Amino acid sequence: MATLTELCHSHTKLDSDQVSHLQNLTAIWGLLADLSFADLLLYGMDSSHSENTLVLLGHIRPTTGTTIYRADMIGQTFESRQRPLITDCFNEEKDIDGLIQAGPDRENSVRAIPVRLGDQVIAVLARERVHSTDKASSVLERTYRRVFHRFVEMIERGEFPYREEERLRHRTPRVGDGLLLVDDQGLIEFASPNAVSALHRLGMHRAAVGSRLEETNLGSAMLRQAFARRTAVIEEATHGTEVVVVSHCLPMLDKRSATGAIVLLRDVTDLRRRDRELVSKDTTIREVHHRVKNNLQTISSLLRLQSRRLKTEEARAAVEESVRRISAISVVHETLAQSAEDDAEFTEIVRLLVRLVEETVSLPERPLRFSVEGEGGTLPSQVTTTLAVVVTELLQNAVDHGYAQPNLSSKETSGNVIIQIDRRPEGLNIQVIDDGIGLPEGFEIEKAQGLGLTIVRTFIEGELGGSLTLKPVNKASGAIAEVQVPASRLLGPWDDAQEPEV
Give all strands (DSSP E) within 104-184, no chain letters: 106-117, 120-130, 179-183
Residue ranges covered by each domain of the chain: 4-157, 175-267, 272-340, 357-502
DSSP codes of every residue in 29-82: HHHHHHHHTSEEEEEEE-TTSSTT-EEEEEEE--SSS--S--S--TT-EE-TTT
Beta carbons of 17 and 118 less than 8 angstroms apart: no
Q: CATH code for 357-502?
A: 3.30.565.10
50 to each of 4, 53, 126, 155, 388, how far by Cα in Å?
Answer: 21, 6, 22, 28, 61
CB-CB neighbours of 489 under 10 Å: 18
Rounded CA-CA distance 43/57 in Å is 6
How many Å is the maximal CA-CA distance in the chain? 104
Beta carbons of 272 and 238 less than 8 angstroms apart: no
- Fold agreement between 4-157 and 357-502: no
Q: CATH code for 4-157?
A: 3.30.450.280
Q: By three-state DSSP, how is residue 210 classified?
A: coil
Strand pairing report for 467-472 and 415-424: unpaired
Q: What is the pLDDT along the chain (502 residues), one digit of tens a residue?
A: 689 999 999 999 999 999 999 999 998 999 999 999 999 999 999 987 767 799 999 999 999 988 999 888 999 999 998 999 999 999 999 999 999 887 777 889 999 999 999 999 999 999 999 888 767 678 999 999 999 999 999 999 999 999 776 665 556 678 988 999 999 999 999 999 999 999 998 889 889 999 999 899 887 789 999 999 999 998 888 887 788 888 999 999 998 899 999 999 988 888 777 776 776 676 766 777 678 778 878 887 888 788 887 888 888 878 877 877 787 778 777 777 776 566 788 888 888 888 877 777 666 666 788 899 999 888 888 888 888 888 888 888 888 777 765 544 444 556 888 999 999 888 999 999 888 888 877 777 777 777 778 888 888 888 888 999 888 887 667 888 899 999 888 875 545 444 444 3
Strand pairing report for 96-103 and 257-267: unpaired
Regarding pTM above 0.95, the answer is: no
Rounded CA-CA distance 148/252 in Å is 10
CB-CB neighbours of 12 under 10 Å: 20
Q: CATH code for 175-267?
A: 3.30.450.20
Q: Say which residues have a Cβ less than 8 Å from residue 82's Cβ, sequence separation at least 6.
A: 54
Beta carbons of 237 and 219 less than 8 angstroms apart: yes
Rounded CA-CA distance 311/317 in Å is 11
